[in-house]
Homo-oligomer: A and B are copies of this chain.
Amino acid sequence: MRCIKCGQRACFEIRRHRAAFCQEHLIEHLRNQVEKTIKKFKMFSPKDKILAAVSGGKDSLALWDILLDLGYCTEGLYIHLGISSYSDKSHEMAEKFALSRGVPLYTVSLKEIFGEGMEYIARKTSKSFCSACGLIKRYIMNITAKLGGFDAIATGHNLDDETAALLGNVLRWQIGYLARQSPNMPERGGLARKVKPLCRLTEREMAAYCIVKGIDYILDECPMSRGATSLKYKETLNLLESSSPGTKDQFYLSFLERGQRYFKPVEEEVELKDCVKCDQPTTVEMCSFCRQMERAGFDSLALKKSLKELLSTKGNSFII
């Protein structure tokens, strides 16, 4: 197999594009794909300040690396959930990357702020672990972007994540979710813009990117996600992709280009107001983060206070 750019020996094949690349041109290809995606979905411009939500995994670190290489002013946010050794290890990876590139990383640690981690908080609420954790992460991302003056939050969701979510929404015909699923969720009523610049690239490509670029990342999946339905959907889509390369890309893109518009007229824009406790946007009196933290016996405002301090520093210099 030869690189389609230079004819040198290829190190990586991308079957759905009927292409293979050497290391140098693989990086170039993936970077170009991200740049194209940012432009196609009008995610942000070089003037914007981006907050990359990093987990220490391949996707988010590759995303941050690519955004920096493309010249976007991007700072990192790591949410330390206090999940056994997994959180420590993944934090180490995020920190190592930030230091190697000399860029700020803001670490929000649940245990440092509340004295307890995600496992304790989830147990105290009636929600499933993943849904309680998702709520907290979304809240922290949003409030960090708002307090830190970021123009957009970029997450490492890749094509596998997006198509797995889409398949799940389609298997149950969840119209509201279908109407909202987007690689670019514009800012509205205090909710920061959220973008997914990797939505056209696969997990496998992101792993290859990190390997070639020498980016150390945590290999383990979150130990709490074992048996998650989304993993089953990914397995299923991989089966289809292997027998018909391009299936995922076509599924996702044709949804965005042709399918989704049919669900749009029914999307009800619920009005957002300020949470009586923390001022963050909510559809009810008190936002679900404050309610969840109250149920777990914590003062939700401790987060905002600690975040303001953190943002006044230069990020990782504060943690080390």
CB distance from A174 to the nearest CB of B (A): 8
Counting CB contacts under 8 A, is A266 at the interface? yes
CA distance A264 to B170 in the complex (A): 17
Pick from B173, B239, B244, B251: contact of A258, CB under 8 Å: B173
Counting CB contacts under 8 A, is A171 at the interface? yes
Stretch at the interface among A95-103, A209-217, A229-237: A229-237
A244 touching B266, Cβ below 8 Å: no
A232 touching B236, Cβ below 8 Å: no
Which residues of B are found within 8 Å of A259, using beta-carbon distances? 170, 173, 175
CA distance A262 to B259 in the complex (A): 10
A250 touching B171, Cβ below 8 Å: yes
Counting CB contacts under 8 A, is A85 at the interface? no
CA distance A259 to B240 in the complex (A): 23
Which residues of B are found within 8 Å of A232, using beta-carbon distances? 239-240, 243-244
Counting CB contacts under 8 A, is A300 at the interface? no
> Which residues of A12-67 have CB atoms within 8 Å of chain B's CB atoms?
none
Pick from B171, B172, B239, B251: contact of A239, CB under 8 Å: B239
Count of A interface residues, CB-CB < 8 Å: 25
Counting CB contacts under 8 A, is A182 at the interface? no
Counting CB contacts under 8 A, is A181 at the interface? no
A175 touching B236, Cβ below 8 Å: no
Pick from B243, B247, B263: contact of A262, CB under 8 Å: B263
Q: Which residue of B lies closest to A239 (CB)?
A: B236
Q: Which residue of B lies closest to A227 (CB)?
A: B243
Counting CB contacts under 8 A, is A129 at the interface? no
Binary contact readout A252-267 vs B (1 if CB under 8 angstroms, 0 otherwise): 0011011100110010
Q: Which residue of B lies closest to A259 (CB)?
A: B173
A171 touching B236, Cβ below 8 Å: no
Q: Which residue of B lies closest to A260 (CB)?
A: B173
> Which residues of A132-188 have CB atoms within 8 Å of chain B's CB atoms?
170-173, 175
A-B contact pairs, 25 of them (CB 8 A): A170-B170, A170-B251, A170-B259, A171-B240, A171-B247, A171-B250, A171-B251, A172-B250, A172-B254, A173-B251, A173-B254, A173-B257, A173-B258, A173-B259, A175-B259, A175-B262, A229-B244, A232-B240, A232-B244, A233-B240, A235-B239, A236-B236, A236-B239, A236-B240, A239-B239
